[in-house]
Amino acid sequence: MAHRTPPGSSASHASCLDLWREKNDQLVQQAKVAQDSGLSPRRQQLAQDALEGLRGLLHSLQGLPAAVSVLPLELTVICNFITLRASLAQGFTEDLAQDIQQGLERVLETQEQLKARLEHGLRGLWDSVLHVSSLLPELLPALHHLAGLQAALWLSTDRLGDLTLLLQTLNVSQSGASEDLLLLLKTWRPPAEESDAPLTLQDAQDLRGVLLTAFAYRQGLQELITGNLPRALSSLHEAASGLCPRPVLVQVYTALGTCLRKMGSPQRALLYLVAALKGESTWGPPLLEASRLYRQLENTAAEIECLELLVEALSVAHIPEAPQLLIEVELLLPRPDPASPLHCGTQSQAKYLLASRCLQTGRAENAAEHYLDLLALLLDGSEPKFSPPPCPPGPCVPEVFLEAAAALIQAGRAQDALTVCEELLSRMSSLLPKRPRLWEDARRGTKELPHCSPWVSATYLLQGQAWVQLGAQKEAISEFSRCLELLFQATPKDKEQGPASSCEQGCTSDVALQQLRAAALISRGLEWVASGQDTKALQDFLLSVQVCPGNQDASFHLLQTLRRLDRRDEATALWRRLEAQTELPQENAAWSLPLYLETCLGWIHPPDRETLLEEFRTSLLETRDL
């Protein structure tokens, strides 16, 4: 389209352009004032007003046909608008892409090339705009700035293919079209803005630095998760060497620590973790990582100390700083994912980790204290700031109760364990099955139980063990019997019923159920033995071997009882089977049982299996010799 100059209009136009420019500069200044005014509603209001002002300015600019002389200002206003909007909303939205697209179309409008390229989408638009812009050098700084924002948008939405192509087109003056995004970002040189250019909230150079750090960190984290450690290390080094805010630096150092730990350099990993802890903003992830490191080094004391510090660190309320009104590295990072190695969870999750590690490493007293603290944290609603349960990825709340009871028994505090169990039962009472109202179901034969029965029966088991510790045989046996009654009513159909969560299903896994049954039978059997009723004990041990053939403890107890009852033939047969089994490799280590069950199984472990076998062998030889 030919443009002719009507006489006398150029002066008014120039003043109009100046007016718009001044408006832009003033709004940018306003946003910067808002930025500096700390956390207050006034800041929010100022920033919001600046955003609305930019929106209005853009409206008036785009109300007129596109012109080359106005476009640098218009594109700058678009860039400022997008920057402010994304930083206020703390994220990029789809309609920001529309704003970019509109800006590009306006550029093409001046060149009358609009129609041809529209069908290729945003990428095609960029191609043609950058092609056109070689004819319009005055647009280049603003276009590179807009391209930087487009890159940020595509980075945050994981459209790396488009991003690579865009950067390749931007770098076309440089030699060689690399496929490596990191290299492309490094070689991208946004042209410097002229001194008299309209003000921007954030210039293209700055944006490039942010993009570079964010991308390097994203890539490093991704490779760390997929296990490509050397590449992760180099990407993370790249991120650490860039300009990045302190919280991000802590994350990068922690990730470097994780990476080096996995690569087998614990000392270097420690150095990075120490550096991360000096970051003074978030201590959680580096402390958790340090505890993992010490665990790998089998330095339990240091590991527990790290976890204790982690609990401390997470109890400090984290006051967020006001986010900058700029595109920051944080804005371009992936959403925090609980599965990420850098996720440190909440205070109660850390507390649970500490308690369970104490229980696993044999520090029963500490474990008991930590479990009681955790329960208090979870159940005491009097504090205004409560803490969430460690449920998923941790265990669900009933399991925390059960582990607490197990830890208390382990620590010799049977009475406290009974209190915890009673509390659990009372809180679950409304979910327990009612007695059948009608007799019609009798013909169905079985009585099924709702989903919570494994926990309830485990509670009875632990109550029984507590009574054992208190020396009350009668109570213990009655609790074990209640446990068994419930357990043998449970059928696999239960899994379909009730609002079962994933961890509830895990708890009712067949292996766990078998082991639970065996544990209850052995426990009761042992009590029979203690009260001298060997035949009843024999019955329970026999049953336990049947319900859980993989549990060798049951066989050993059975062997002992048979021996005591002087039933030699059966004992010999069982001994042969056991001998054969012990020669086979042990495979039950692969099962992961709930911690409370593991602990409980530890109590009923026959004290000295090897000597028992040896004794039996010699006695067998003696009888043969006789």
Partner 1 sequence: MAGLAPRVEYLAGFCCPLGGLAAGKPRVLCHGAEVFLSTGSELVYVYDREGRLLIAVYKFPGQVWHLELLALHRALYVLCARSGIYCLSLDQASRSVSRDDEDDRDDQDSEDGQVDELPAPVIPVHPDTCVLPSATLHAFTVLDDVLITLAQGPTQWKVQVFERPCPGEDPRPGGQIGEVELSTCTPPAGSLGEPTAPRFLPVLCCASPPGSRAPHGHPWGSGGVMLEGPLFGLLFGSDASLLESPVILCGLPDGQLCCVVLKTLVTSRSAPGDPKALVKILHHLEEPVIFIGALRTELPSEDVEDAYCDCLVALGHHGRALAIKASWDEAGHLVPELREYSLPGPVLCAARGRGGHVYHSTPSDLCVVDLAQESSPWDLTQRDRAPGGLPSLLCPASLSACSVVTLSVSSRAPEGGAELLALSAKGRLMTCSLDPHSETPHPTRVTSANAGQKIKELLSGIGTVSERVSSLKKAVDQRDKALTCLNEAMNVSCALLSSREGPRPISCTISTSWSRLQLQDMLTATCLLENSSGFSLDRGWALCIQVLRSSQALDLDSAVSAITYTIPVDQLGPGGQREVTLPLGPGEDGALDLPVTVSCALFYSLREVVGGALALTDPFKDPPSNECTPDVLPEQEGVCLPLSEHTVDMLQGLRFPGLAAPHTQALGPLSPARDPVHTFLGTCCGPVSQPAGPASLRAKYLPPSVATIKVSAELLRATLGDSHAGVSLCCATLQWLLAENAAADIVRAQALSSVQGVAPDGTDVHLIIREVAVTDLCPAGPIQAMEIQVESSSLANMCRAHHAIVGRLQTLLREVQTLRDRLCTEDEASSCTTAQRLLQVYRQLRSPSLLLL
Residues 81-110 that bind partner 1 (CB under 8 A): 89, 91-96, 98-99, 102
Pick 206 or 448: Cβ nearer partner 1: 448
* Residue list 311-330, contact with partner 1 (CB under 8 A): 314, 317-320, 322
User: Binding of partner 1 at residue 397 (CB under 8 A)?
Assistant: yes
Q: Give the whole-angstrom CA distance, residue 309 versus residue 514.
A: 38
Which 3 state secondary structure label does DSSP give 300?
helix
| Minimum CB distance to partner 1, residue 512 (Å) | 17
**Listed ranges 5-13, 206-214, 293-301, 561-569: which one lies at the site for partner 1 (CB under 8 A):** 5-13
Q: How many CB atoms sit inside 10 A of residue 325's CB? A: 23
Q: Which of 96, 217, 229, 81 is nearest to 151 (CA)?
A: 96
Residue choice 36, 195, 434, 580 for contact with partner 1 (CB under 8 A): 434
| Euclidean distance between CA atoms 81 and 55, whole angstroms | 7
* C-beta closer to partner 1: residue 89 or 172: 89
432's tokens: 């327990």
- DSSP secondary structure string for all residues of 176-240: S--S-HHHHHHH--PPPPPTTSPP-SS-HHHHHHHHHHHHHHHHHHHHHHHT-HHHHHHHHHHHH
Give yes or no for a cis peptide into 41 (omega within 30° of 0).
no
Instruction: Please say which residue, 17 or 612, places its beta carbon nearer to partner 1.
Output: 17
Which amino acid, 579?
E
Give the nearer residue to partner 1 in terms of CB position, either 386 or 591. 386
Instruction: Report the sign of the C-alpha dihedral through residues 228, 233, 239, 245, in that order.
Output: positive
By CB under 8 A, the residues from 478 to 517 that bind partner 1 are 497-499, 501, 504
Footprint of partner 1 on 132-171 (CB under 8 A): none
Q: Which stretch binds partner 1 (CB under 8 A): 4-12, 295-303, 508-516, 570-578?
A: 4-12
**Which SS3 state, helix, strand or coil, does residue 494 take?**
helix
Assess contact for 314 and 350: CB atoms under 8 A: yes
Please, what's the b/e burial string for 334-372 (b: 16 or more CB within 10 A of its CB; e: otherwise)? eeeeeebbbebbbbbbbbbbbbbbbbeeebbebbbbbbb
Figure out which of the listed residues 25, 32, 55, 568 binds partner 1, where binding follows CB under 8 A: 55
Segment interacting with partner 1, rule: CB under 8 A, options 267-275, 430-438, 553-561, 580-588: 430-438
Q: Which of residues 589-618 bind partner 1 (CB under 8 A)?
A: none
Task: Rule CB under 8 A: say whether 412 interacts with partner 1.
Answer: no
Candidate list 414, 418, 449, 483; residue touching partner 1; CB under 8 A: 449
Closer CB to partner 1, 282 or 465, in the complex = 282
What part of residues 233-252 is at the interface with partner 1 (CB under 8 A)? 247
Q: Which stretch binds partner 1 (CB under 8 A): 159-167, 356-364, 445-453, 567-575?
A: 445-453
Residue 175 interacting with partner 1 (CB under 8 A): no
Q: Which of residues 6-45 bind partner 1 (CB under 8 A)?
A: 6, 9-10, 12-14, 17, 39-42, 44-45
Q: Does 428 bind partner 1 (CB under 8 A)?
A: yes
Size of the chain, expressed as the number of residues it contains: 626
Only segment of 141-149, 390-398, 468-476, 508-516 that touches partner 1 (CB under 8 A): 390-398
Q: Which of 100, 128, 130 is nearest to 112 (CA)?
A: 128
- Answer yes or no whether residue 431 interacts with partner 1 by CB under 8 A: yes
First to last CA, the chain: 120
Interaction residues for partner 1, span 281-300 (CB under 8 A): 282, 284-285
Name residues whose C-beta falls within 8 Å of residue 82's C-beta, 6 or more positions apart in sequence: 96, 99, 100, 149
Extract the tokens encoding 96: 């920001």
Q: Which stretch binds partner 1 (CB under 8 A): 22-30, 67-75, 353-361, 512-520?
A: 67-75
Greatest CA span in the chain, whole angstroms?
133
Does the footprint of partner 1 cover residue 352 (CB under 8 A)?
Answer: no
Q: Which residue from 151, 162, 25 is spatially nearest to 100, judged by alpha carbons? A: 151
Of the two residues 433 and 549, which places its CB atom closer to partner 1 in the complex?
433
To the nearest whole angstrom, how small is the minimum distance from the Cβ of residue 415 to partner 1? 22
CB of 411 to partner 1, least distance (A): 23
